[in-house]
Amino acid sequence: MLKGKTVLLGVTGGIACYKSAGLASALVKQGANVQVLMTRNATEFIGPHTFESLTGNRVSVDTFDRNYQFQVEHIALADQADLVLVAPATANVLAKLAHGLADDMLTTTVLACDCPKIAAPAMNTRMYENPVTQDNLALLRRYGWEIVEPASGRLACGAVGKGKMPEPEELLETVLHALSHAKDMEGLKVLVTAGPTQEALDPVRCLTNHSTGRMGYAVARAAAARGAEVTLVSGPTALKKPAYVETVDVVSAQDMFEAVTARAPEQDIIIKAAAVADYRPAQVAQDKVKKGEGELSIPLERTRDILAWLGEHRGPGQFLCGFSMETRDMVENSRRKLEKKHLDLIAANNLKEPGAGFAVPTNLLTLISPREELELPLLTKEEAAHRLLDEILKLR
């Protein structure tokens, strides 16, 4: 995802330095060339050799280090950089960066960078909440920095409050959002649905399906990484909410119908990846249905068809994409659905194919439009999401 990208990782003098080692490793695993810059204070918490072992690159600490090729090193590093990430960012270094001070290798190099810049503050709660620190953060935002909000919890000093550096996987998601893809969907509003719905039978039981939401969440993340303004309407899942995406939680098919139709008119693209229940119990028992009271029969009634409603009420230029999961006659059944519901594209898969379907990290999609069919190879759901978006942009 980050192959060919150079990330300058600035590490400053806070106890959260130990998390930066995990972050450097995660960035390398994504293919990034990671150049680490440390302040002198940071080396009191963690040694440069740790980062050199993880990244394969020499760590820069001293502006006047003579052990390098003849070049103005901080300018050479700045020229390479696709992104600067300072994590952890202490109050002291944030103040320097906000006011253009450059008295060490890290601040001198960052001042020479014209690429996107991200800072992850980490400090004592009172230091973070101090008006001076908040003013410096506001100033950095004005200069185009992205500030990752610190987490709350027990800090190293024993205090409980805001000031913890986010976990490496969260910061990795921030970097991926910034660098992993060209922003070819900037200016577009995209609505994605994901996950199952749950249709109550009584206060204890429900009718649902095996959807995990992974495909829809992958599509939402991919669209956000490409610059779109994304709304994700999600049924109940165990997945973490994607960053840079507005997530709307729903439970039943009716909940999803109301959430989608209320937001549909303002969307440029709607991608319906959710596994919405076609039927629900005709009556919901007010108390738990007890076993041993004779045979249980559950009369069912149809739920509202969200995709059909969208096809009938679509706005000018709006693009509609549905999903179709089949167990036989996949292309024929999916093409009928495409035509009946007035869709522009349908992503079809066969639950019986190895690697496709629910609860697996891969998918095997066939993208069907009115004029053609595109069979994709077996891909991760993240890769499949981007191929789906490529096809949507082509057809638009």
CATH classification of the domain holding 317:
3.40.50.10300
Which residue type is seen at 386?
H
Check residue 74 and give its pLDDT.
Answer: 65
Residue 119 has pLDDT above 70, yes or no: yes
In a domain, 268, yes or no: yes
Residue 288 assigned ligand-binding role: yes
Q: Are 200 and 168 found together in one domain? A: no
The mean pLDDT of 142-168, rounded to a whole number, is 85
In a domain, 291, yes or no: no
In a domain, 354, yes or no: yes
In a domain, 292, yes or no: no
Q: Are 168 and 191 found together in one domain? A: no
Check residue 70 and give its pLDDT.
Answer: 42
Residue 65 assigned ligand-binding role: no
Higher pLDDT residue, 289 or 188? Answer: 188
Residue 240 assigned ligand-binding role: no
Q: Are 91 and 202 found together in one domain? A: no
Q: Are 134 and 199 found together in one domain? A: no
Q: Are 152 and 133 found together in one domain? A: yes
Q: Are 142 and 240 found together in one domain? A: no
Q: Are 161 and 18 found together in one domain? A: yes
Chain centroid offset of residue 327 CA: 30
pLDDT in tens, 234-243: 999 999 999 9
Of the listed ranges 140-149, 265-274, 294-303, the one predicted with least confidence: 294-303
Its domain, for residue 102, covers 4-178
Domain boundary, last residue among 147, 178, 209: 178
Check residue 265 and give its pLDDT.
Answer: 97
Residue 291 assigned ligand-binding role: no
In a domain, 293, yes or no: no
Residue 383 has pLDDT above 60, yes or no: yes
pLDDT in tens, 292-341: 766 778 899 999 999 999 999 999 999 999 999 888 899 999 999 999 99
Do the beta carbons of residue 197 and residue 252 sit within 8 Å? yes
Q: Are 45 and 159 found together in one domain? A: yes
Which residue type is seen at 54?
L
In a domain, 259, yes or no: yes
What is the pLDDT confidence band of residue 66, given thresholds at 50, 70 and 90?
very low
What is the pLDDT confidence band of residue 63, given thresholds at 50, 70 and 90?
low
Domain boundary, last residue among 146, 178, 210: 178
The mean pLDDT of 52-77, rounded to a whole number, is 73
Q: Is the dihedral of CA 250, 252, 257, 262 positive or negative?
A: negative
Of how many residues is the chain composed? 396
What is the pLDDT confidence band of residue 18, given thresholds at 50, 70 and 90?
very high
**What are the structure tokens assigned to 321, written together?**
């994409």
Q: Are 137 and 251 found together in one domain? A: no
Residue 102 has pLDDT above 80, yes or no: yes
Report the number of distinct structural domains present in the chain. 2
Q: Are 221 and 319 found together in one domain? A: yes
Higher pLDDT residue, 390 or 359? Answer: 390
pLDDT in tens, 190-210: 999 999 999 999 999 999 999
Q: In CATH, what number is assigned to the domain containing residue 64?
A: 3.40.50.1950
What is the pLDDT confidence band of residue 356, given thresholds at 50, 70 and 90?
confident
Residue 64 assigned ligand-binding role: no
The mean pLDDT of 5-30, rounded to a whole number, is 96
Q: Are 209 and 323 found together in one domain? A: yes
Most confident of 57-66, 89-98, 328-337: 89-98
Catalytic machinery residues: 157
What is the pLDDT confidence band of residue 163, given thresholds at 50, 70 and 90?
confident
- In the predicted model, what is the mean pLDDT of the chain? 93
In a domain, 319, yes or no: yes
Name the pTM for this structure. Answer: 0.89
Check residue 90 and give its pLDDT.
Answer: 96
Q: Are 206 and 167 found together in one domain? A: no
C-alpha to C-alpha distance for 281 and 45, rounded to whole angstroms: 60
Domain boundary, last residue among 108, 143, 178: 178
Residue 171 has pLDDT above 80, yes or no: yes
